Structure 1
């Protein structure tokens, strides 16, 4: 049958189904309501298996009450009016995606679906003109890199002006956040001192920012549609430089935080009053605390392991009470496994995953995430993975890194510098590219950028195969370190034997 005939058959089938449904409701007027009344908040609603970034996935049991408790306040922070559209790009079974759907439906919004593929997503943004776009940080990083890549290819005075206006906007936004207390604070900010010092630069830079908005930034904002209210970055760490860029050019993106075990939303920055550099305060009805390795409760502004208590916490792992007992304390606190610090205003700032902590032979504890985030700011580097153990998992004296270059940037660099090559794989192995990437890494992870001597990268190895979902990445595009270590165990072994 032709597509037209298939659509006609489908429409007739839905019409007959709707008609039979109306007839059934007339014969059983209270049946649906009676069935709804049987449900209790503690009843099991769903079992969602974790992505398994550290090994075998675990089945997380969530009740109706777990899921519904989040809707009390999330709809105040991430708001939609009835009929307004949200564009969704995550797998429909994922905890973050499902929570987003509930938040949208609870406000009478419209669900629209797309794919996290640049060309498809950009087309759908123009067609559907959504108000919200929830996505994992990798999607926003790809948009950021795409903008810079396009401007580099444009080159000339256009690229020079773009860089100038971006640098100015970043500086003005930094001053503006300082003066208006829009930064995460861990100590007194002494605004009485800073206002006289910064108010004049703030005022003098503002006209330039307006000019940049007129000539450059409004065109970028047009890419996400005229109705775009905010993006939501969740399901992974949101790079600070990407966050700062979108903040500076006027594209609102609110970072959120949660785990499958917490149904999943714990916190999210509010659209109406965001604070830079954190994932927001806990939602109403949720308690948070930070503890040290001995379980001693730490005060605010001290780094430790984040624990959560509240109606959002799961019922347990399906048929794995042994694993449930490992993450739940006797008094009902759930250990997230995330390293965090609470600000003076109780906002959560994440500092890494406890399971990812690297312990060197000298006893130094290192969080790889901030190091990788800084390395990834280089336009020549797509992804980096930092290790402190060899292929057998034995702690070493120094850090090494696997570097996945940005192919387009590397090939452009080679062309501009007269480096001949027959294939990209061959180019990546040349001494010139090796030195380029080493220089980028060593320059990024240095004392001038706030890194300690034991946090510096001693050696790197270049890899050329892009990370794939189901191989190096989980379904929500989160890197699975143990998979990367296994795939490239020979390169890791060489880094520690040379």
Structure 2
């Protein structure tokens, strides 16, 4: 039923299938694209543009350095902890060309989060921004990281501008805390030493791991999703198949405000747009809306990739509303649910409808999307080519059209599994390759799908997964905390905000300020709770498990909203 049902649901001109083995690995795609589009712009940031030819040359210099000046071997892991700067694609593609496995790392991570990820992945190398090198100073000695490369924001800019930008960031804005990493190598020294040196191009098997992308999955324990070369190549081709009639090769300008270390932007901008030779304008700090809007005013952009939070913020900005949107023909949304009001406002302001998709880290990430030719707002569209979806009940029995059940996905973009966590892999992936998403969905008669409920406990803050288990593990380390729970509550700006409930130990008085200070010191900013409530007791099951769902239902009731089923 599944395969026959989906094959005729694609608009004219979009094939129902792709060949995930069209390219043997990411290197083959990169080489072909950088030759075909050598003189075309690939990435721009802070007024500097790298062509595809320059990207290949610089990534080759980075790869040559890794091979000739370190003891790193194919298959070793390299943590990349960079925001949206030109160094990011150079490092990622250079590492892949050298045969290393990329471990994408959030630059906003605390030392605790860095230490866990580096140790879990067994990373032997780290590339980080100077802004967070003071954290690396404390973390690296506790890990297997032996090689550290530090870069400053402006390192790939022309000499005078480089000096100016780096000096302002360090001395005027004071955004680079002092650090001591005597063995660290400067990024520009790495490029200089590798420049012109031969590269032993790695030729990994299609099923070899290319990227370890960390996610909490459905349990809250940070795990590395093993994304193979075949997974990522397949998702590139799937994105291309759905975009081909709207995005022309080698001539589109795509705005890139979402972080490249996040799987959504990583696959779309670094992979899919590389395949078709398009131009990505990197926004380093989308939170600085005035600076972002000023940057947008410089480009006749034809594509914009964002999420609900950003669409709302931009449409509320008067300068953004006055921009020239005459070239904009594609707006893509993912990472969090798109609200109808946000979609309507964006179209009113820009004249371009938002195309919403769905995916997970475990699906590389795109699993479904609204074809641009026929957008149904409020749905997550249809499965991308060569992908099957179904909904099942609690016993795993497949349900019919219009019935509500857990969404399962199968396709060449589904991860190989979790890094060194077979039990967790078996919980998510069955023997036939079906991935259980944990999201509750309905498949309509026309093939479009709707998400009607969410993973049981996950909190989604501005497109980022936040897992209550992690927050609670941190909270209980605060002296005086007896019990705690973390939930998501509706928030107009971020989709959801975090609220924590705390039961203090007898005789102990805790304050909200103490809780907030503790959380800020131990978790990334978007994981810090917005609200704190102290209680004498929390609702529990008869075996003592805290019932987060009851807490959520109480909060929704206060807001006059429907309880979670």
> What's the TM-score bracket when you normalise by the shorter of the two chains?
0.5 to 0.7
2: CA distance, partners of 1:321 / 1:86:
38
2: CA distance, partners of 1:6 / 1:220:
28
> Which residue is 1:60 aligned to?
225
CA contact (8 A) 2:340 2:377 kept: no
> Which residue is 2:241 aligned to?
76
CA contact (8 A) 1:305 1:354 kept: no
Please tell me whether residue 330 in structure 1 is matched to residue 427 in structure 2: no
Displacement of 1:338 in angstroms is 0.8
Partner of 1:104, secondary structure, is helix
Displacement of 1:230 in angstroms is 2.1
2: CA distance, partners of 1:120 / 1:5:
17
Normalized against structure 1, the TM-score is what? 0.54
> Which residue is 1:4 aligned to?
160
Displacement of 1:100 in angstroms is 1.1
Q: Return the structure number with greater helix share.
A: 1
> Which residue is 2:206 aligned to?
41
Displacement of 1:95 in angstroms is 0.8
Partner of 1:337, secondary structure, is strand
CA contact (8 A) 1:390 1:492 kept: no
What is the total number of aligned residue pairs between the two structures? Answer: 318
Report the RMSD for the aligned CA atoms in angstroms.
Answer: 4.3
Distance 1:76 1:384, change over 3 A: closer
Q: 1:149-204 CA deviation, whole Å, 9 max, x = no partner? A: x6xxxxxxxxxxxxxxxxxxxxxxxxxxxxxxxxxxxxxxxxxxxxxxxxxxxxxx
> Which residue is 2:293 aligned to?
122
Partner of 2:297, secondary structure, is helix
> Which residue is 1:107 aligned to?
276
2: CA distance, partners of 1:272 / 1:221:
25
Distance 1:262 1:245, change over 3 A: same
Distance 1:121 1:5, change over 3 A: closer
2: CA distance, partners of 1:333 / 1:229:
34
> Which residue is 2:463 aligned to?
none
1: CA distance, partners of 2:300 / 2:207:
39
> Which residue is 2:310 aligned to?
139
Gaps of 5+ in 1: 26-30, 151-218, 359-367, 393-462
CA contact (8 A) 2:498 2:529 kept: no
Map 1:139-158 → 2, pairs under 5 A: 139-144=310-315, 146-147=316-317
CA contact (8 A) 2:501 2:534 kept: no
Distance 1:3 1:312, change over 3 A: closer
Q: 1:322-370 CA deviation, whole Å, 9 max, x = no partner? A: 1111112233211001111111111121123131399xxxxxxxxx99x
Normalized against structure 2, the TM-score is what? 0.48
Please tell me whether residue 273 in structure 1 is matched to residue 374 in structure 2: yes
1: CA distance, partners of 2:422 / 2:281:
38
Match of 1:490 among 513, 534, 547: 534
Gaps of 5+ in 2: 1-157, 165-185, 460-486, 504-511, 539-550, 559-565
Distance 1:384 1:75, change over 3 A: closer
Please tell me whether residue 356 in structure 1 is matched to residue 512 in structure 2: no
Displacement of 1:55 in angstroms is 2.8
> Which residue is 1:245 aligned to?
345
2: CA distance, partners of 1:223 / 1:75:
28
2: CA distance, partners of 1:355 / 1:80:
37
Displacement of 1:76 in angstroms is 3.4
Which runs of at least 4 in structure 1 moved beyond 4 Å after TM superposition?
Answer: 5-8, 12-19, 51-54, 219-222, 381-387, 389-392, 470-477, 491-498
Match of 2:388 among 265, 287, 312: 287
Distance 1:127 1:472, change over 3 A: farther
Displacement of 1:386 in angstroms is 9.3
> Which residue is 2:490 aligned to?
372
CA contact (8 A) 1:85 1:111 kept: yes
Please tell me whether residue 258 in structure 1 is matched to residue 359 in structure 2: yes
Partner of 1:372, secondary structure, is strand
Displacement of 1:141 in angstroms is 2.2
CA contact (8 A) 1:126 1:225 kept: no
